[in-house]
Amino acid sequence: MAKRSFTGRLATAVAGGAMTAAALAGCSPGGAEAGSSGEPATRTVNVAVLPTSNMAAVYLGEEEGFFAEEGLELSMTTVGGGAEMIAGLQAGSFDFVVAGYVPLFAAAANGLPLSIISANDVGGATPDEEWQALVVGADSTAQSVQDLEGATVGVNALKGVAEATIRASLQQQGVDDTAVQFVEIPFSEVPAALANGTVDAAFGSEPFITGTLGDGGRILDTPSYNLGANFPNGAWATSADLVESDPDLVDRFTAAITASVDHAAENDDAVRQILPTFTALSPELAAEIRLPIFRSALDREQLETLVEILVEFGVVDRAPDLDQLIEG
């Protein structure tokens, strides 16, 4: 029997394992179960997550008991993206979310009172550690970003953080970013889009970078790393209303998620083992991919750089007030 390509195996895994909500709907932040023996009452919190590998920290934290130690029980719901998370926060459906900085910054700049309580993940400290990168297919003749002028580049969302960081990286390397055409290609479709020539290059994230490399493709650029080692990627946030109305709950969740992210940062093997439990990855694929870089500390200087880039390239209309947005 012929051996299937990595992309073929990956497509089968993704198609065969649709994500579902991790728990039944819990009570609102105001609800609590009666404690016993003087212990704090258990609180159920509604948390929105994504079906991606950088969610491993919260699942590990739940498994390790960090949330239980704070008297918290998680009701996790998998959603499609940051916009859905922000809408859920605004409606009161979610108490805490983990999202990219673009939807958080955009919502804050538009007047939605949010509070970022912890970082979740960042880019690589070196190009080899990057788990999101600009890739080309096996048949590509491009040897550097200088070869991308006049090319079509796929990004997961137009006018999103990927497009902005790619444009900034191209400018940094002396390439006219206006000579590049950007089109929308979901991460899951990157290997196929490169193989069939739909795009000349694409911004990929794991596990689809490993899929592209397994099919003979190459990494052409690491835009986030070019802007700074361990460049910000995702963070945990809640509503400013919850911070004001229930600071104890926010403090307890912050302590638990910080411990969870720090634990994930120090335990690669545990991350790889838990990935198949909440994603469609098989244990074999989970063992191959480049892992996200987990980091709980918020880097204010790099966040200011990110804001400048997002404003410059029109991703957000105006800069959010970071003093108001960052809790603590």
Give domain limits for the chain: 6-30+41-123+230-325, 127-227
pLDDT at 29: 47
Average pLDDT over residues 115-140: 95
Burial of residue 279 (CB within 10 Å: 0-12, 13-18, 19+) is buried
pLDDT at 37: 52
pLDDT at 72: 98
Take residue 321 and report the two structure tokens written for it. Answer: 């007030």
pLDDT at 19: 36
Q: Would you tell me how many other CB atoms lie within 10 Å of the CB of residue 171?
A: 14
pLDDT at 117 over 70: yes
Tell me whether strands 152-155 and 201-205 are parallel, antiparallel or unpaired: parallel
C-alpha 193/C-alpha 216 separation (Å) is: 14
Residue 169 φ/ψ, nearest 5 degrees: -65, -40
| 3-state DSSP assignment of residue 221 | strand
Number of residues in the chain: 328
| 3-state DSSP assignment of residue 17 | coil
pLDDT at 127 over 70: yes
Element (H, E) at 294: strand 293-294
Residue 316 φ/ψ, nearest 5 degrees: -125, 150
Average pLDDT over residues 188-197: 92
Q: Would 6-30+41-123+230-325 and 127-227 be classified into the same CATH topology?
A: yes
Cα 35 → chain centroid: 35
pLDDT digits (tens, 9 = 90+) for 247-282: 999 999 999 999 999 999 999 999 999 999 998 889
Asked if 236 and 116 count as a contact pair (C-beta separation under 8 A), the reply is yes
pLDDT band at 315 (very low <50, low <70, confident <90, very high): confident
pLDDT digits (tens, 9 = 90+) for 4-57: 444 444 444 444 443 333 332 333 444 444 444 556 689 999 999 988 899 999
Q: What top-level class would CATH report for the domain 6-30+41-123+230-325? A: alpha beta
Residue 162 φ/ψ, nearest 5 degrees: -65, -50
Tell the CATH superfamily of the 127-227 domain: Periplasmic binding protein-like II (3.40.190.10)
The residue written with tokens 């890739």 in the block is 135
The mean pLDDT value of the chain amounts to 88
pLDDT band at 207 (very low <50, low <70, confident <90, very high): confident
pLDDT band at 131 (very low <50, low <70, confident <90, very high): very high
- Torsion (CA) 10, 14, 16, 22 in degrees, nearest 10: 140
Asked if 136 and 258 count as a contact pair (C-beta separation under 8 A), the reply is no
| 3-state DSSP assignment of residue 89 | helix
C-alpha 256/C-alpha 62 separation (Å) is: 9
Rg (CA), the chain: 20
